[in-house]
A and B are shown apart, each in its own frame.
Chain A
Amino acid sequence: MKLPRFSRKTLCIPYAVFLVFFVIIPMCVILFYAFTDRQMHFSFSNFLRFFSDPTKLSTIVYSIVIALITTVICLVIAYPVALILARSKLKKKFVILMLFVLPMWINFVLRVNALRELFNLLSQSEALSWLENANIFKTIVGMVYDFLPFMILPLYTTMLKIDTSLYEASADLGGNAFTTFFRITLPLSMPGIMSGVTMVFLPSMTNYVVSDMLGNAKVTIIGKFIYEYFGSDWHMGSMVALVLLIVVFVSTLLSGGFKSEENVRGTNL
């Protein structure tokens, strides 16, 4: 009997199976549900219902705004840290980096819970009682807390790759600290910014665990929306999921995420 020839292609079979069952088929199912009604007849009714309902549209805008604020805050906090760490000659900088990344290794739900308890405790006091109803504020703090490492790591790895002699060259050619930053450091760290932004922006639009636990269930983001619909109306839920997919696709397209450049999302940890 002739044994089947083993080739490198054979190694792809497990992933191909995975791809079919967990990516392609579910996508088709979502598409199917999104464009059918309860009688399983083809219809645009979900589509029309979604875009004619102001609450649904505002939820999307709301999610995007929250995600944007979270992303900007993460970037503002992470950029200087990553820059200082990447440029420092400290032998112990690995330890400092670990301190930023370590929370990622503790259970996510536990961390959010802890934060909630902390807010509750703080809002007991007179001066901080406003915290009790500052649902958006608490949600954003929670998201920044959770997603910050995803911003620091790609920034740090990108900045490590910048040859320090480029900073010297810029200074040598008469560039002051300001010029060096805006004309050398910033453009060269752009790939890191882009991947950091994608890695924070997308989850903060969909991760409703944070908004649920910290926002007293009063902050509804698009992820929560989908979850709720799948309790009752699969067809509408699928449509929302599809809209989210398109939003993500467009935002990735805009941030240049599809450029086949080297992937900087990989981390050293």
Chain B
Amino acid sequence: MAEHIIELKGVTKYFGENLIIDNMSFYVNKGEFITFLGPSGCGKTTTLRMIAGFELPTSGQILLNGKDISSLPPNKRPVNTVFQRYALFPHLNVYENIAFGLKCKRVINTYRNDKGEEYTKKERLTKKEIAAKVKKALEIVDLEGFEKRSISTLSGGQQQRVAIARAIVNEPEILLLDEPLGALDLKMRKEMQIELKKMHKRLGITFIYVTHDQEEALTMSDTVVVMSDGVVQQIGTPTDVYNEPANTFVADFIGESNIMNGTVVGQHKVRFCGKDFACVDDFPVNEPVDVVVRPEDIRMCAPEDGMLTGEVISVVFKGIHYEITVQVGKYEFVINSTECRKVGEKIGMKIAPDEIHLMKPKFTTNVYDGIITKHNTVRFGDGEWECDVTSLYPGSHIDEEEYLITKEGEKIDLTDTEVRVEVGLNDITISDEEDAGGVMGHIISIIYKGDHYRLIVRTEENEEDFVFSTEDLWNENDYVSVIIPRDKIKLTLKPKGKEDEA
């Protein structure tokens, strides 16, 4: 088994009140090229900064070669970073920038005194040694002869190389790269990707790479760690992550996907789009599942041979393939194929059993902790909502003083009663109008599911999420108000114990 060079154990990080990293645990093998991949704000950079030592975990441990380094300052860690915007020292030239780390370094040399006894001394590197190492580093990044150049005269790509040279010249055990190619143009980026990969092979040290670019991650890495909301969604090789996404987030984030709601109807049988399909994944019968099919895994055929038939509604040429959108009943499928089809053409579609990926749906319903207010409304998810409190006690009604009268005639003041609130995925709607609903929030996620969209709206105050389906197209980051009809808010009393304590 490969050696674990870095291991995170239950690492949690808060910035003030905000949870950035939630109980994260994983390990990195010695010598591998590992990439943290995720949308911005998913905690990938924070994780990297904790490994570098710029941030300390709120709780949990970071082990380097089995030793806890969680509270070690950055200058004591055998780790070097290539910063997002390079962070080259503007007052030093290329040589001085690269030599900076070497000048800070102390090495232990062994000498023999007159009596023949050995003794050790902590010494700085000599000027000669430093010069030789800098020269070698410059060769690795292909910048021979740039020693005397000032940083401001270099192009973005050259600065990038100096930043890499400055890090690798110290021979770190791990090289951390924080979106190092983000500032380069596409062509330059592709070149640097290949060069970094070569450098990784040549140097043989561990690379930890952070990016939001899924293509970059798949191209370069041995292992990809997909993150979202401070949680690891999946760890695997690029092939695994692409072919066997662990959930709809990974499927949607990495590559394109057709994602649909389905139901398991038998052993290795799933029903979606009104048809039954054979599949490989095993789920209990009658379980609702998310069905993921990659666009390139759908084969087109004659209409009568297809498992599904539909009409082509758009064809887009993408260079290597055509992106064909097919309408099947009320569902839409995207197919990537090298064959061209005409808009309006009727086609059949075939999907092999092992290309149908079933996943346990992340959300089946919204559940919140709520509190009944004075006016018999309920407070949850950062908002106050009209609700039917009589549903808490079957057969009860509200008197004119807003007290609840139970079936037995008992008078109850419900104010401050803690309740469990449940709202179905299809019971929430949203609106542009500010006062239309109980609370406002930003749309943080949109996943297309063939015939509808799965949206998540997050409130600003306590970051409460509302997950629901809609047929309307919205934009990510739209600021909307959340509407839940009175009769769709299902209330249940919390276990009695709590009330007694209070």
Contact = CB atoms under 8 A, between A and B. Distances in A.
Contact of A169 (B79, B81, B105): B81
Nearest to A169: B87
Q: How many of chain B's residues touch chain A, expressed as a range? A: 20 to 34
A165 B75 contact: no
A175 B75 contact: yes
Interface in B60-88: 73-75, 79-81, 83-85, 87-88
Contacts, number: 60
A176 interface: yes
B327 interface: no
B87 A174 contact: no
Interface residues of A, number: 17
B90 interface: yes
A188 B100 contact: no
Contacts of B85: 163, 165
Interface stretch (A19-27, A96-104, A179-187, A226-234): A179-187
| Binding site secondary structure of chain A | helix
Q: Which of A165, A169, A179 has the most CB of B within 10 A?
A: A169
B83 A169 contact: yes
Given A175-B75, A188-B90, A170 B100 contact: yes
A187 B89 CA distance: 10
A187 B100 CA distance: 14
B105 A165 contact: no
A169 B85 CA distance: 11
A170 B81 CA distance: 10
A30 B471 CA distance: 85
A170 B101 CA distance: 8
Contact of B54 (A166, A168, A176): A168
Contacts of A77: none
Contacts of A169: 81, 83, 87-89
B248 interface: no
Contact of B75 (A174, A183, A184): A174
A179 B87 contact: no
Contact of B105 (A168, A174, A183): A174
A170 B90 CA distance: 13
A1 interface: no
B100 A173 contact: yes
Interface in A181-221: 183-184, 187-188
B44 interface: no
B8 interface: no
Contacts of B89: 166, 169-170, 184
B100 A175 contact: yes
A89 to B, nearest CB: 11
A173 B80 contact: yes
Nearest to A170: B100
A188 B88 CA distance: 12
Contacts of A183: 100
Interface in B67-126: 73-75, 79-81, 83-85, 87-91, 100-101, 104-105
B104 A174 contact: yes
B371 interface: no
B166 interface: yes
B101 A173 contact: yes
B387 interface: no
Nearest to B101: A173
Contacts of A126: none
Interface in B357-384: none
25 contacts: A163-B85, A163-B87, A165-B87, A168-B83, A169-B81, A169-B87, A170-B89, A171-B53, A172-B52, A172-B54, A172-B80, A173-B75, A173-B80, A173-B104, A173-B167, A174-B104, A174-B105, A174-B170, A175-B75, A175-B101, A175-B104, A176-B104, A179-B104, A184-B89, A188-B91
The 9 A-B residue pairs with the shortest CB-CB distance in the complex, in nearest-first order: A173-B101, A174-B104, A165-B87, A169-B87, A171-B74, A172-B81, A171-B75, A174-B75, A187-B91
Interface of B: 52-54, 73-75, 79-81, 83-85, 87-91, 100-101, 104-105, 166-167, 170
